[in-house]
Amino acid sequence: MNSILIDHTHKLFKAAILTARRTNLKTVPYPKNNFKNNKEVKNYLDNLTNFISNPELFYLNKNKIYNIKLQNRLSLPRNVFNSLDN
């Protein structure tokens, strides 16, 4: 189950990068720390989905949601998911 969740997260992150480039935002939501449980992953997936659906709303709230600039990192490291139950 976790492998599906990890793959889905990576695909949504890639879609968020494409959305950011398309809308010239130059930033995407990014996890501040490693995920400790599935609830944190779900919250991050909700942030990514909301970003993809309404990037203009993310821009208004980008100070409240941890994010990174596109040129800094373009993928999620695998160790972000290390703490999840297998």
Do 28 and 44 contact (CB within 8 A), yes or no? no
- Please, are residues 20 and 65 in contact by the beta-carbon 8 Å criterion? no
Per-residue confidence in pLDDT tens, the chain, 86 aa = 578 888 899 999 999 999 999 999 888 999 988 888 889 999 999 999 999 999 988 878 777 888 888 876 677 877 788 777 55
In the prediction, which pLDDT does 45 show? 94
Q: Please compute Rg for the chain using Cα positions.
A: 12
The predicted structure's pLDDT at residue 13: 92
Residue 6: CA count within 13 A, CB half-sphere: 16
pTM equals: 0.84
Residue 85: the pLDDT is 56
